[in-house]
């Protein structure tokens, strides 16, 4: 699939990684970009190819309305997300549910709404922005997020299987940390969010079902075949 001429929808498009996806889609020659967010009024719509849309992963009606408003989508980028900072053993269970409702069920709702659109349009791609925390748990405060991203990762794999033969690429993009508002409280190394968008879109054009953006994601993926103690020792 080529970015030039594509009609894309990006969730969480008003900032961070999502904003960079919008910018790079436009730079790559996308015909139209639906920029979806809970606050579409904050969008930069100076480019006439950008169409702001209201979409909240926890509001199923907003997802259905977005799918009806964007019947020409060929590329879906599921970027929107949150982190509650919940610990698995001590935080309110409702906070853990919120992480899961957002990353697993919210993203799945968007895919379920747009899969028929992609199928009708004859070809397409779904890009899910995941995390190295899909595969490994790290510091306290990330346990709930890790669980939600692990669930989203295998949901991505399951959707890929169910869409086999439909001419739709289903891609998972993994990274350690990007320099976004959501990671502002983290002191660890962070990559520029533009690198995530660049790698994901290059992967779409290459037909890659998995993209490892940075060294942490490549290290953890490579460690799967060894003793897990190297990740938790």
**Residue-level pLDDT at 188:** 66
**Residue-level pLDDT at 179:** 83
**Which tokens belong to 68?**
């009806």
**Residue-level pLDDT at 83:** 92
- CA dist 96 and 84 (Å) reads 8
Q: What is the DSSP letter of 42?
A: G
**Residue-level pLDDT at 171:** 98
Looking at domain 7-232, does it have CATH number 3.40.50.1820? no
Which of 37-46, 171-180, 181-190, 205-214 is modeled with the greatest confidence?
Answer: 205-214
**Residue-level pLDDT at 81:** 95
- Write the pLDDT tens digit of every residue in 62-107: 999 999 999 999 999 999 999 999 999 999 999 999 999 999 999 9
Q: If you write DSSP's letter for every residue of the chain in order, what string do you get?
A: --STT-EEEEETTTSHHHHHHHHHHHHTT-SEEEEEES-GGG----STTEEEEE--TT-HHHHHHHHHH-TT--EEEE---------TTTS-HHHHHHHHIIIIIIHHHHHHHHHHHHHHTT-EEEEEE--GGGT---STT-HHHHHHHHHHHHHHHHHHHHTTTSSEEEEEEE-S-BSSGGGTT--S--B-HHHHHHHHHHHHHHT-SEEE-SHHHHHHHHHTTS-THHHH-
**Residue-level pLDDT at 140:** 77
Q: If you write DSSP's letter for every residue of 188-211 in order, what string do you get?
A: S--B-HHHHHHHHHHHHHHT-SEE
Say if CB 154 and CB 110 are below 8 A apart.
no
- Write the pLDDT tens digit of every residue in 168-189: 999 999 999 988 656 555 666 7
The domain limits of the chain are 7-232
The answer to pTM > 0.85 is yes
User: What's the average model confidence in pLDDT over 152-172?
Assistant: 98
- Write the pLDDT tens digit of every residue in 101-140: 999 999 999 999 999 999 999 999 999 999 999 999 987 7
**Which tokens belong to 210?**
């998995």
- Write the pLDDT tens digit of every residue in 217-232: 999 999 988 998 988 8
**Residue-level pLDDT at 187:** 62
Share of the chain above pLDDT 70, in %: 96
């Amino acid at each position: 699939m080529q970015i030039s001429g594509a009609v894309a929808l990006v969730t969480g498009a008003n900032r961070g990684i999502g904003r960079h996806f919008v910018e790079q889609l436009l730079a790559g020659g996308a015909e139209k970009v639906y920029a979806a967010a809970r606050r579409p009024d904050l969008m930069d719509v100076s480019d006439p190819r950008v169409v702001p849309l209201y979409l909240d992963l926890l509001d199923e009606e907003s997802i259905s309305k977005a799918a009806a408003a964007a019947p020409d989508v060929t590329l879906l980028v599921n970027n929107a997300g949150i982190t509650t900072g919940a610990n698995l053993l001590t935080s309110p269970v409702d906070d853990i549910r919120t992480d899961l409702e957002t990353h697993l069920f919210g993203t799945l709702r968007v895919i379920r709404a747009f899969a028929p659109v992609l199928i009708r349009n004859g070809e397409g791609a779904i890009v899910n922005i995941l995390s190295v925390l899909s595969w490994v748990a790290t510091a306290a405060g990330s346990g709930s997020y890790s669980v939600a991203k692990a669930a989203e990762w295998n949901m991505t794999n399951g959707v890929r299987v169910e869409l086999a033969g439909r001419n739709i690429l289903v891609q998972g993009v993994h990274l350690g940390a990007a320099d976004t508002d959501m990671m502002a409280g983290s002191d660890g190394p962070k990559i520029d969010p533009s690198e995530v968008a660049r790698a994901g879109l290059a992967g779409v054009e290459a037909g890659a079902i998995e993209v490892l953006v940075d060294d942490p994601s490549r290290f953890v993926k490579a460690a799967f075949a060894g003793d897990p103690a190297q990740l938790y020792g």
